[in-house]
Amino acid sequence: MTDLPAGPVPELRQAVWSSLGTVLDPELDEPITDLDFVESCTVSPAGEVSVTLRLPTFFCAPNFSFLMVADAYDAVSAVPGVRRAAVTLADHHASEEINGGVAAHSGFVGSFAGEAVAELDELRHTFLSKAALAGQDRLARPFVEEGLGPDDLAALTLAEVPDSMELRRLRDRRMAIGLPYTDDAPLLIHGDGSRVTSAQVPLHLRRARLQRVGIETNGEYCKSLLQTRYSAEAKARA
């Protein structure tokens, strides 16, 4: 789904769709709207919103799935003008638990009583940290290709990086997990926020590149699975 159908409340409809664009697949670090994970989204004149999500496989990890449904519910509910929101996940082995838990505001542990032992804040932090590391590779590569050495790369600050969607995304990820994100922050930092020294630059960039490649490869794989699962041919065979 790439856009919302015409309806009676275009401004609210667009605001709802924009809110869904802020919801990320935690592992892939991409919006669920870009990944085509939104199967349907309807907005009534009364401000009632119904969203259905879909995922690449029937057995996608319940914790990742729960995060996306819960985050989508929170994002849509926060849109001014939305009076009631319902967000559900279709075609998933844990749809009943996830949908019921999100609707009841039970949290992950409450939704999977006897199975889950902790909420998902640590998991979210882990994947945002991975995304922040991958972003360093994307932003540092042009400087490396220009011939900057380890001393110059270690000294780079975010103010010296040309503005781009990728830079803004890196700032957002760092801000979300408490890492330096202002103009004076180093481009290259460790997971604890400390600056990468010139001697550490080569190994750090190799790790950042591996992280980026892993995220992007998983993303392409998931997109392929989703397309196969929900293709016209697959629906016809069902």
Closest CA relative to residue 79, chosen from 10, 171, 13: 13
Say whether both 144 and 169 belong to one domain.
yes
Positive or negative, the CA dihedral 96, 101, 102, 108 is: negative
Write down the residue that tokens 């664009």 correspond to: 21
Q: Please check whether residue 168 lies inside any domain of the structure.
A: yes
- The answer as to whether 152 is a domain residue is yes
End of a domain among 111, 141, 171? 111
Whether residues 57 and 76 fall in one domain = yes
Residues 77 and 127 in one domain: no
Closest C-alpha to 120, from 214, 26, 237, 185: 26
Res 1: pLDDT: 46
Is the domain of 103 the same as that of 144?
no
Query: Which CATH number goes with the domain that contains 81?
Result: 3.30.300.130
In the block, tokens 């932003």 appear at 139
Is 44 inside a domain boundary?
Answer: yes
Instruction: Provide mean pLDDT across the span 166-176.
Output: 97
* Residue 150 located in a structural domain: yes
Q: Are residues 127 and 100 in the same domain?
A: no
The answer to whether residues 215 and 125 belong to one domain is: yes
Cβ atoms of 98 and 69 within 8 Å: the answer is yes
Instruction: Decide if 4 is inside a domain.
Output: no
Give the count of domains, the chain.
2
Q: Is 235 exposed, middle or buried (0-12, 13-18, 19+ CB in 10 A)?
A: exposed
| Same-domain check for residues 46 and 81 | yes
Helix (H, G, I), strand (E, B) or coil at 120: coil
d(CA 151, CA 195): 12
**What would the mean pLDDT of 3-29 be, rounded to a whole number?**
84
pLDDT value at residue 235:
59
Strands (DSSP E) along the chain, which ranges? 24-25, 30-31, 38-43, 48-53, 84-89
- Is residue 238's pLDDT more than 80? no
With b meaning 16 or more CB within 10 Å and e meaning fewer, what string describes 108-120?
A: beebbeeebeeeb
Q: Specify if 169 maps to a domain.
A: yes
pLDDT value of position 231: 84
C-alpha 32/C-alpha 65 separation (Å) is 11
Domain with 75, as residue range(s), is 10-111
- Within 112-200, where are the H helices? 121-145, 150-155, 165-176
Nearest in space to 207 (alpha carbons), one of 148, 121, 123, 140: 140
- pLDDT of 237 strictly over 70: no
Residue where a domain stops, chosen among 111, 133, 160 = 111
Cβ 40 vs Cβ 1: under 8 Å? yes
**Does residue 232 register a pLDDT over 70?**
no
Q: Does the model's pTM come out above 0.75?
A: yes
Are 81 and 129 in a shared domain? no
Looking at the domain assignment, is residue 163 inside a domain?
yes
* pLDDT of residue 3 exceeding 50: no
Do 89 and 145 share a structural domain?
A: no
- Quick: pLDDT tens for 79-89: 999 999 999 99
Q: Is the pLDDT of residue 7 over 60?
A: no
Amino acid at 35: L
Looking at the fold, whether 153 and 198 belong to one and the same domain comes out as yes
Report the C-alpha gap between 65 and 62 in whole angstroms: 5
**What pLDDT is stored for residue 9 in this prediction?**
72
Tell me the pLDDT band of 115, cut-offs 50, 70 and 90.
Answer: confident
Interval 193-213 mean pLDDT? 98
Average pLDDT over residues 28-47: 96
Q: Is 14 within the bounds of a domain?
A: yes
The answer to whether the CB of 87 falls within 8 A of the CB of 76 is yes
Q: How confident is the model over 77-106, as a mean pLDDT? A: 97
Do 214 and 136 belong to one domain?
Answer: yes
Domain boundary residue, one of 111, 131, 146: 111
